Structure 1
Amino acid sequence: MTDSAPIARERHGLVTVLSMVHKPYNLIGPTLINALLAELREAQNTGSRAIVIRSGLRHFSAGADLALFGARLEGKGNGGAPGGGWSGIDFLKEVELLPIPLVASVNGVCLGGGVELALACDYIIAGNSAKIGSVESALGLHPLMGGIQRQVQRIGMARAKEMSMLGRRYDAATLERWGLINHVVPDDVLDKTALAIAEELAHGPTVAHAATKQVAYIAANQGVRAADEQMGKLQEPIWASDDLRAGLTSFRQNGPGLAKFAGR
């Protein structure tokens, strides 16, 4: 990566860590989104079995690039996104459906589109000083990339409407209590803990994790019955996986919890 690239990539064994360094505030727009998608695909294609998305700057993300809204008002934008040439909704869907686990590691301020990016990940961990909020109402907007519906999925309609309509910034502990984020840790151990969680996920049964993500996505968007109806098909790769054979063999020989999975 060059110094001017919006994403810095590091590899830690089976885990890829993607650090957003799109100065000054990791503003969400085509530049950052296209770079992030390229890096996610590269990580998958080169064998990573989990990914951490974090910020290499003081804040996770201050939200969308406001220049995009001007373009939209002038009729130059995409109806499904705040600016032209990209779709925020399609972006979140691709992130959500990536067949390997994603951990969002949130530091500093995480607002607007930054919240939506985090919500597309499988696990959200935040530093205890993080301030997180869907603040688009201050601009006369609401979350544009699908944040409202994803908040409803995680914390229910009442809290989702509160977040998007009041436009407040919440402390991480409050959002952990609500269930929007998974875990809050002291700021000085955020990176270490996020990597440890990603490593735990990476050493798990990757094929089963991919199926879990698909089942969860269908259940959240189409309902439990739809997920039930597709379970058999979605589980077929698990039954054909080396990981299942390794897990069963290890259980018989050594008991539970000692299997070493190859991720295939």
Structure 2
Amino acid sequence: MANQSVLTHVNGGVATVLLNRPEALNAMHQALRSELVAALQALKSDASVRAVVLSGKGRAFSAGLDFNELQGAAALVAANGIVGQQLLDEIAAFDRPIIAAVNGFAMTGGLELALLCDVIIASEDAVFADTHAKLGIVPGWGVTQRLPRAIGIYRAKEMSLTGRKVDAQLAYDWGLVNRVTARDQLIAEAQAMAEQMAQADHSAQSTIRELMDLGWEAPIESGLEQEQQASLVAFQRFAKAQQSSS
């Protein structure tokens, strides 16, 4: 259907999931987040699917959360918690590898979405940035904890405190992405890697993946909790400021 915000195609053991709001740089509004949750739930229940490629249609992987929607929902966010918590929970509970095939922009929440995946492959024109601070928002999807672990704390601070854009080659040099490929080969290369993953023993692969994540993220839980608490406080202030100006 033309109005679907998420498109899913399964071929053999590999599912390809595309964010489908190219006109909005795949900004993740509520409908897209809900459809992505539903897509992951459906794939998790399909035993034939052994690996997932996640990418975006058009010029962007994702520009992050839909800021216009977020502004209007500030009071709701402040009262009810982190936007997209169900999506975060669904990705965390997904028991098969997810490869982010980053085409074009991966900005702010889009960067966080890529960091939630197991592997990141970037097109030559990919651009990564964390603009939370420039927008006056405290992140809640893990970038303050995952980005430093991926590229080192000093590079992560440079990205997050300045909002600077990092191109694909620098992202590769810094260890943010596994490899860089031509844009027209991005999906095919990600699918080829996913096919290799799909051929592995699922039980052993799942255990290895869990152990790697456990070792990498063992100290991360308190940091993530503190990040979400700080994010909620910031949204509460944001909501009050909006009410005062209206």
Q: What range describes the TM-score normalised by the shorter chain of this pair?
A: 0.7 to 0.9
Could you say which residue in structure 2 is the equivalent of 1:259?
A: none
- Alpha-carbon distance in 2 for matches of 1:119, 1:36: 16
Q: Which residue of 2 aligns with 1:256?
A: none
Q: Is the 1:99–1:209 Cα contact (8 Å) retained in structure 2?
A: no
> Hey, what does 1:229 align to over in structure 2?
none
Bigger RCO (CA 8 Å, 6+ sep):
2
Larger of the two Rg values belongs to structure? 1
Instruction: Count the aligned residue pairs.
Output: 217
Cα distance in 1 between the residues matched to 2:40 and 2:54: 9
| Fraction of identical pairs, as percent | 31
Question: Higher helix fraction: Structure 1 or Structure 2?
Answer: 2
Q: Is the 8 A contact 1:142 1:164 kept in 2?
A: no
Name the counterpart of 2:208: 212
TM-score (normalizing by structure 1): 0.76
Q: Is residue 8–residue 18 contact of structure 1 (8 Å, CA) maintained in 2?
A: yes
Aligned residue in 2 for 1:44: 44
| Cα distance in 1 between the residues matched to 2:126 and 2:207 | 32
Counting only pairs closer than 5 Å after superposition, residues 94-173 of structure 1 correspond to structure 2 as: 94-173=90-169
Q: CA RMSD in A?
A: 1.9
Report the CA distance between 1:127 and its aligned residue.
0.3
Alignment of 1:63 with 2:70, yes or no, is: no
Contact 1:96 1:122 in 2 (8 A): no
2:31 counterpart residue number:
31
Could you list the per-position Cα deviations for residues 21-58 of structure 1 after superposition, in whole angstroms to 9, with x for gaps in the alignment? 02422112322122112111211211200000011222
Displacement of 1:72 after TM fit? 4.8
Residues 50 and 199 in structure 1, CA contact (< 8 A), matched pair in contact too: yes
Do the aligned partners of 2:101 and 2:121 also contact (CA within 8 Å) in 1?
A: yes
Deviates more, 1:47-56 or 1:58-67: 58-67
Distance 2:93 2:169 in 1: 27
Residues 212-260 of structure 1 deviation map (CA, whole Å, 9 limit, x = unaligned): 222122212225xxxxxxxxxxxxxxxxxxxxxxxxxxxxxxxxxxxxx
- Rate the CA distance shift 1:164–1:142 in 2: closer, same or farther, 3 A: farther
Unaligned runs of 5+ in 2: 220-246
Unaligned runs of 5+ in 1: 224-264
Contact 1:61 1:110 in 2 (8 A): yes
Q: Per-residue deviation at 1:119?
A: 0.5
Q: Do the aligned partners of 2:104 and 2:125 also contact (CA within 8 Å) in 1?
A: yes
Residue 18 of structure 2 aligns to a residue whose secondary structure is strand
Deviation per residue, 1:120-150 (Å, 9 max, x gap): 0001000011111112222122433111211
Deviation at 1:114, TM superposition (A): 0.7
TM-score, normalised with respect to structure 2:
0.82
Kept in 2: contact 1:51–1:101 (CA 8 A):
yes
